[in-house]
C-alpha cells in the first residue's frame, strides 16, 4: 500500500482527498502546513505528496525546496487559478506536477497513479543514500547513472568515483592526495597530476564553461571541492 501525504490547511480539502485516496486503496496521511509535512517525512515512509502552495508557517514552495535537498519523492502541487507564477516556480524547484483547484477527482487520481508509476517502475524509488543531488547534478549509485539538468552524462569509472566522493560531502575541500587515496585505493604517488587530469575531464562534461566552473572548484594550495550551492 502506498502512503500519500496530503498537505493542505483547508480541512474540507484534506477530508475529501482522504476519501478519494482511500477508495483507491492508498493510505492518506494528513498535514496542515509544510513544516508539519517535513516532520512527518522524517518518521514515515511516504511515496507521493499532494502539496498546497498557500499555507501558514511554511508554504508549499518552500517545503518542496527543502524536500528536494534530500529526496526525490513525487510532489503534485495543489494550486489556485491565480497562482500561475507559483506553479512555474514550484516546477522549477522540483515539483513534478500540479493540479488546479477545484479539481476533478478522476483527473487527480490519474495524475497520482502516473507519478507513482514513474517513481516505482522507472527507477525513482531508491533509497536516499543511493541518490546524491547537488544543483543540477544527480548521481544514482544503484544504477551508476549521472545526469546534469536531467540529461545523461557519460563518465569513465574513475571520473564517476571522483564525482561520487566529492558529492558525498559538498563544500568540503579534499587534497589531491586524499582524493587519490580514496578513489585509487593506493598511495599518493603522483596524485596531484592524476587527479588534476580527471578533474579537468569532469569539468568538460559538467560545466557550461570549464574555465569558470560552477560546481568543481579548486581551492588554491588545498585541493578541490564540489560547490554546495552552485550559482
Domains of the chain: 3-125 (3.40.50.2300), 129-226 (1.10.10.10)
Q: What is the mean pLDDT of residues 171-182?
A: 89
Residue 166 has a pLDDT of 94
Residue 34 has a pLDDT of 93
In angstroms, what CA-CA distances link 222 with 172, 179, 212?
11, 12, 19
More confident residue, 107 or 71: 107
Phi-psi region of 94 (alpha: psi -120 to 50; beta: other; left: phi over 0): left
Is the pLDDT at 128 greater than 60? The verdict is no
Q: Residue holding cell 502546513?
A: 33
- Of all residues in the chain, the percent with pLDDT exceeding 70 is 92
- Closest by CA to 70, choosing from 149, 197, 210, 170, is 170
- Closest by CA to 182, choosing from 197, 202, 168, is 168
Is the pLDDT at 188 greater than 80? The verdict is no
Count the neighbouring beta carbons within 10 Å of the beta carbon of residue 175.
17
Model confidence at 163, pLDDT cuts 50, 70, 90, reads very high
- 57 Cβ neighbours under 8 A, 6+ residues apart: 33, 34, 35, 36
In angstroms, what CA-CA distances link 74 with 22, 51, 97, 112, 157?
19, 10, 8, 9, 30
Q: What tens digit of pLDDT does each residue of 29-85 get?
A: 999 999 999 999 988 889 999 999 999 889 999 999 998 887 888 899 998 867 678
Put simply, whether the predicted model's pTM sits higher than 0.85 gets the answer no
Q: What is the mean pLDDT of residues 174-201?
A: 81
CA dist., res. 68 & res. 88, Å (int): 16
Is the pLDDT at 129 greater than 70? The verdict is no
Is the pLDDT at 126 greater than 50? The verdict is no
Distance between start and end Cα atoms, the chain: 40
Amino acid at each position: 500500500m502506498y502512503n500519500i501525504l496530503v498537505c493542505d490547511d483547508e480541512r474540507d480539502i484534506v477530508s475529501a482527498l482522504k476519501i478519494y485516496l482511500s477508495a483507491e486503496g492508498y493510505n492518506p496521511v494528513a498535514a496542515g502546513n509544510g513544516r508539519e509535512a517535513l516532520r512527518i517525512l522524517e518518521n514515515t515512509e511516504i511515496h507521493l505528496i499532494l502539496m498546497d502552495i498557500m499555507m501558514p508557517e511554511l508554504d508549499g514552495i518552500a517545503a518542496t525546496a527543502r524536500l528536494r535537498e534530500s529526496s526525490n519523492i513525487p510532489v503534485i502541487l495543489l494550486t489556485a487559478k491565480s497562482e500561475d507564477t507559483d506553479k512555474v516556480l514550484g516546477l522549477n524547484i522540483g515539483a513534478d506536477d500540479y493540479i488546479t483547484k477545484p479539481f476533478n477527482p478522476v483527473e487527480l487520481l490519474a495524475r497520482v497513479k502516473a507519478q507513482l508509476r514513474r517513481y516505482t517502475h522507472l527507477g525513482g524509488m531508491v533509497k536516499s543514500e543511493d541518490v546524491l543531488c547537488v544543483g543540477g547534478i544527480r548521481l544514482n549509485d544503484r544504477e551508476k547513472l549521472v545526469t546534469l539538468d536531467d540529461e545523461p552524462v557519460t563518465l569513465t569509472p574513475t571520473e564517476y568515483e571522483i564525482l561520487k566522493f566529492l558529492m558525498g560531502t559538498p563544500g568540503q575541500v579534499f587534497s589531491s592526495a586524499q582524493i587519490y587515496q580514496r578513489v585509487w585505493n593506493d598511495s599518493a604517488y603522483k596524485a596531484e597530476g592524476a587527479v588534476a587530469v580527471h578533474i579537468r575531464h569532469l569539468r568538460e562534461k559538467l560545466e557550461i564553461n570549464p574555465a569558470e566552473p560552477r560546481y568543481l572548484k579548486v581551492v588554491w594550495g588545498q585541493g578541490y571541492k564540489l560547490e554546495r550551492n552552485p550559482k
